[in-house]
């Protein structure tokens, strides 16, 4: 909640400045307010995907978003946009895991060791996101979008299960014991701030309505950096498809 309040203050601040600036300088007399809604589809994934994971099976899990942004055009082709967005990023992935260091929950106790077997992971996080973007109008039909985003974690779940496998206690030479089913929950390890870059396009459907496609790549780790339960850093990599209305 602390983050939410901070964020709202920042957004308010940005909007105010943009508005004031826009009024002060005739250069910025071309102002758009854009309302955008759509869906996120993607995954939170290690990069590159380690070869100890195979048979990845990803089930589409759609996360909606809604965004309001203000765009100023200092130049007829170039615009600057700031917005605020409520979005969900969701994922369901199952993978075959081969000798991967894991911290799993057996018997409500944290167990550390090397796991081989099947891993199923579910993620759903809601973010309050502030995108800051540059817009480049190629022609009357097409805009390029490039920028950054900062996302504040409002609420999130990151949990799953390991099954049909075995774990070796401590290290790969430790005692081997079978695991039929065991759950883990790393929800508390989700970081409060996630940031990264945006690249995308807007195409005009009508004069007021655009189709937006963009890729949102996090450059910060999804989970706390000192968290050792997964030996890889996970990054949010989500594409989004939306309709945008120029108010």
**Contacts to another protein by CB under 8 A:** 45, 47-52, 75, 77-78, 98-99, 106-111, 113-114, 134, 136, 144, 146, 166, 168-180, 197, 199, 215, 217
Angle at 180 between CA 173 and CA 52, to 5 degrees: 50
CB of 140 to another protein, least distance (A): 17
Closest residue by Cα to residue 89 from 160, 194, 219, 229: 194
Please identify, using beta-carbon distances, which residue of 34 and 52 lies nearer to another protein. 52
Please identify, using beta-carbon distances, which residue of 83 and 117 lies nearer to another protein. 117
Please identify, using beta-carbon distances, which residue of 35 and 106 lies nearer to another protein. 106
CB atoms within 10 A of CB 227: 16
CB of 215 to another protein, least distance (A): 7
CB of 48 to another protein, least distance (A): 5
Q: Are 196 and 218 in contact (CB under 8 A)?
A: yes
CB of 211 to another protein, least distance (A): 18
Q: In angstroms, how far is the first alpha carbon of the chain from the final one?
A: 30
Please identify, using beta-carbon distances, which residue of 177 and 192 lies nearer to another protein. 177
Ramachandran area for residue 141 (φ above 0: left; ψ -120 to 50: alpha; else beta): alpha
Residue bearing tokens 């996120």: 40
Contacts of 36 (CB under 8 A, 6+ apart): 65, 66, 67, 68, 69, 83, 85, 212, 242, 243, 244, 245
Rounded CA separation 150/142 (Å): 25
Rounded CA separation 164/34 (Å): 49
CB of 28 to another protein, least distance (A): 17
CB atoms within 10 A of CB 116: 20
Rounded CA separation 133/81 (Å): 5
Please identify, using beta-carbon distances, which residue of 26 and 173 lies nearer to another protein. 173
Please identify, using beta-carbon distances, which residue of 37 and 217 lies nearer to another protein. 217
Please identify, using beta-carbon distances, which residue of 128 and 135 lies nearer to another protein. 135
CB of 83 to another protein, least distance (A): 19
């Amino acid at each position: 909640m602390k983050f939410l309040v901070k964020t709202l203050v920042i957004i308010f601040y940005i909007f105010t400045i943009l508005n004031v600036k826009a009024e002060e300088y005739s250069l910025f007399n071309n102002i758009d307010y854009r309302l955008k809604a759509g869906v996120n589809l993607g995954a939170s994934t290690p990069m590159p995907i380690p070869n100890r994971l195979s048979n990845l099976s990803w089930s589409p899990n759609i996360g909606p978003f809604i965004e309001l942004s203000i765009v100023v055009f200092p130049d007829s082709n170039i615009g600057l946009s700031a917005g605020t967005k409520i979005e969900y990023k969701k994922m369901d992935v199952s993978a075959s895991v081969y000798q991967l260091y894991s911290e799993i929950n057996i018997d409500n106790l944290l167990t550390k060791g090397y796991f081989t077997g099947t891993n199923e992971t579910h993620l759903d996080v809601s973010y309050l996101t502030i995108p800051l973007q540059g817009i480049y109008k190629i022609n009357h039909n097409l805009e390029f979008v490039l920028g950054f985003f900062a996302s504040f974690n409002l609420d999130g779940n990151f949990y799953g299960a390991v099954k049909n496998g075995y774990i070796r206690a401590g290290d790969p030479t430790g005692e081997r014991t079978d695991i039929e089913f065991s759950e883990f929950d790393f929800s508390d390890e989700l970081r409060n701030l996630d940031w990264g870059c945006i690249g995308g396009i807007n195409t005009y459907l009508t004069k007021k309505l655009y189709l937006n496609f963009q890729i949102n790549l996090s450059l910060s780790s999804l989970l706390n950096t000192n968290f050792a339960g997964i030996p890889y850093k996970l990054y949010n990599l989500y594409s989004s498809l939306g309709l945008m209305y120029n108010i």
